[in-house]
Structure 1
């Protein structure tokens, strides 16, 4: 009788140890999965054709995903050498306050550190998510680009952007920005605000971003890795440096 009791106790102890080990392994597995999920959400991979998005995301391969870099020579909507080893694509809206924060505080540092040294090219994409006024502002910037003043106009708009809330970018306001940056032909600029061709270019960028599942601004893409929002400079430095290392 005593032997049977001891045997049962021994079995219970062994069973408890086995169940405890299984529980520990389960906790470790769940924790690792949660950690991976947080990492992916902080630096997600851009994928084309989300279920809610239509249109084409451009050329792509299974290995590299969508090919978003354009590297168009003399592109007025780009900064940096066409053959720079790394390209950062910026999807932004002129009425977005966070886009203004990035433009004023972070982009000048990135340009100085990477663009001016030939390591990085920045390509602009319009992602006007705040309605018709955003579309009109994007068209105005392209009208400025037609006269060689895209980045000057871009900088002027964001320099005046509010820290909170959305800028009121009416046509008279846009014309004042054009005057501020010294637009050579104001009559042409004003006429181009109604250009169907420029509106089509803006909407093509919007379609590209939508097809990628992007719905907030600013969003930056480097090697198909997204940097959402106006992140601190250190985040950009880390991602750009990693991309440069991969490019070597």
Structure 2
């Protein structure tokens, strides 16, 4: 029997190793090709997603730009251009000849609107409206659903009977400190009764008034066109205030407006 020499054995081992490495290389090549295909697919999908995201981002940018335009438009509002300035306006308080006009946009279910109505408005009314320095107009908007719309209609129904302020005071006094309260019909009627509405039956009928509903819808649409996107929102003369500001803030702004008016 012929025994291979060490050199021959080494040569055979080398051949086997070369073959083994070729096999490994082939396998690795197949794996690499597979991964390349998968990666290419993912990159294609990623590109598509990126393209879609860019489109969405573009849409978002447009929306942001539109919102910014709205805010800019709202910031340039003046009471002279947005006030109803109507004789006998039951949703306005104070002399029509007052040197300063304040316009407020509010939703009856807005907790910050309630905070302003409960904490700031009574003092403002006593110091500036009753003294003839300020005319105050309330503009209703519907930002928080059907109950907000129903409440706005109820406010206008109360205004028809000359009890708008009393109704608003009762409604806001019952508001929670946070969240948007439910305002079903029976609750609105209860507020009207507490506000000493002269004719409750007429008030109930007016809650279903298509005409009052159309007025509320028109007021909301006008507010949105003006760029009012949050409540409460105020125009004091030619100065804009957003949010439930303190009475001290209102005093400062009103006094400045009175100064401009030569008062």
Q: TM-score range by the shorter chain?
A: 0.7 to 0.9
Matched with 2:210 is 196
RMSD of Structure 2 on Structure 1 (CA): 2.2
Partner of residue 104 from structure 1, selected from 104, 112, 118? 118
2:102 corresponds to: 88
The residue that corresponds to 2:235 in the other structure is 221
How do residues 28-39 of structure 1 correspond to structure 2 at under 5 angstroms?
none
Corresponding residue for 1:17? none
Q: Deviations over 1:193-223 (max 9, x none)?
A: 1111111111121112101111111011123
Deviations 1:114-133 (A, max 9, x none): 11110001000011210111
The alpha carbon displacement at 1:65 in A equals 9.3
Q: Distance in 1 between matches of 2:252 and 2:77?
A: 23
Q: Distance in 1 between matches of 2:216 and 2:149?
A: 7
Question: Where do residues 1-248 of structure 1 align in structure 2 (5 Å cutoff)?
Answer: 51=66, 67-248=81-262
Say how many residue pairs are matched: 193
Shift of 1:70: 2.1
C-alpha distance in structure 2 between counterparts of 1:158 and 1:240, whole Å: 24
Whole-angstrom distance in 2 between the partners of 1:160 and 1:64: 32
Structure number having the greater helix percentage = 2
Unpaired stretches in structure 1, ≥5 consecutive residues: 1-49
Task: Compute the TM-score of the two structures, normalised by the length of structure 1.
Answer: 0.73
The answer for the alignment partner of 2:25 in structure 1 is none
Stretches of structure 2 that go unaligned for 5 or more consecutive residues are 1-64
Deviations 1:166-213 (A, max 9, x none): 111111100111111121211111110111111111112111210111
Structure 1 residue 235 displacement after superposition: 1.0
User: Which stretches of structure 1, 4 residues or longer, exceed 2 Å deviation after superposition?
Assistant: 50-54, 62-66
Change (3 A) 1:139 1:64: closer
Could you report, residue by residue, the CA deviation over 1:44-65 in whole angstroms, capped at 9, with x for unpaired residues?
A: xxxxxx94699xx9xxxx9979
